[in-house]
Amino acid sequence: MSEQTHMLILGRQGSGKGTQSARIAAALGITHISTGDLFRKEVARKTQLGMRVGGYLERGALVPDELVVDVVMNQTADLGGWILDGFPRTMAQGQALFDALGDDAVDLAIELDVPTHQVISRLSMRRVCDGCGAISSAPSSEEDVIRLCNICGGNVVRRQDDTVEAIQSRLSSYDSLTGPLIIWLDSLGLLATIDGKGTADEVFQKSLGVIADRLLLSVEAMDVPTSS
Ligand code: AMP
């Protein structure tokens, strides 16, 4: 049953993980859990956790493994299916996930493959609504005029960690820390790499095809909006 599916989504920052995981979650009837979104909410609310992680987020550095693992375990407890977006990001986090939930904790890990030069250009144009989190693209990388979100009316802004320095730090930790995790997931037979270039709709269609194929589900049975 697709509602019990447990998935991971990996990919460089700016590869479209957030957009694709939200769509996949809706299609399969599972919960989308983004660790980045969770942390940003905690920072905005100035909670104790937010105070602890704020500096890491601003610098584009990874939050310590123990802290992230705790947060994810709390979030996934009592849920049916889920897609984890942005977790695990290190071997230690991956091992902690399997230690806590067992060897068959994950049905499929999707890696969205987009080359570094392309994600840098996407990230410099990326804008996000501070109300509902909707992601959009600015007409140019320099555009910093505040626009209003056409979904919720919130402010559409640049993410605090979409600065040149933080982008570089995040991409370099992706290669050095997440790279080995991806090789490991592949060795477990869990990885499906999808070409993440192209439009969000194109990548979504490819993702659905891979999910159907690997999890023996029928695309027709998924809840896919007809406009996609
Ligand atoms: P994201 O929105 O996925 O790019 O995450 C934004 C920021 O949240 C990252 O740059 C990290 O500071 C933090 N973060 C999110 N997920 C993790 C994770 N699995 N491990 C460590 N830090 C994380």
Alpha-carbon span 179 to 173, nearest angstrom: 9
Alpha-carbon span 212 to 200, nearest angstrom: 18
Quote the ligand 1 centre to 117 CA distance (angstroms): 20
Question: What Rg, from alpha-carbon coordinates, does the chain have?
Answer: 17
Alpha-carbon span 223 to 103, nearest angstrom: 29
Q: How do 126-129 and 135-137 pair as beta strands?
A: antiparallel
- pLDDT at site 226: 66
Tell how far CA 24 is from the center of its chain: 11
- The atom number, within ligand 1, closest to the CA of 89 reads 19
In tens digits, the chain (228 residues) has pLDDT values of 688 999 999 999 999 999 999 999 999 999 999 999 999 999 999 999 999 999 999 998 999 999 999 999 999 998 999 999 999 999 999 999 999 999 999 999 999 999 999 999 889 888 999 888 888 888 776 666 778 999 999 999 988 888 888 898 999 999 999 999 999 999 999 999 999 999 999 999 999 999 999 998 877 778 887 654
Model pTM? Answer: 0.90
Residue 177: CB atoms within 10 Å: 17
- pLDDT at site 143: 66
Alpha-carbon span 67 to 49, nearest angstrom: 9
Catalytic residue among 126, 127, 158, 206: 126
- Scanning the chain, the segments in alpha helix (DSSP H) are 17-28, 35-45, 48-59, 65-76, 91-101, 116-125, 164-173, 179-187, 200-215
**CA-wise closest residue to 184 among 93, 62, 59:** 93
- pLDDT at site 141: 65
Catalytic residue among 12, 23, 40, 89: 89
Please choose from 35, 43, 177 the residue to mutate so as to test ligand 1's pocket, defined by most ligand atoms within 8 A of CB: 35
Alpha-carbon span 67 to 80, nearest angstrom: 23
Alpha-carbon span 97 to 119, nearest angstrom: 27
Q: Is 126 a catalytic residue?
A: yes
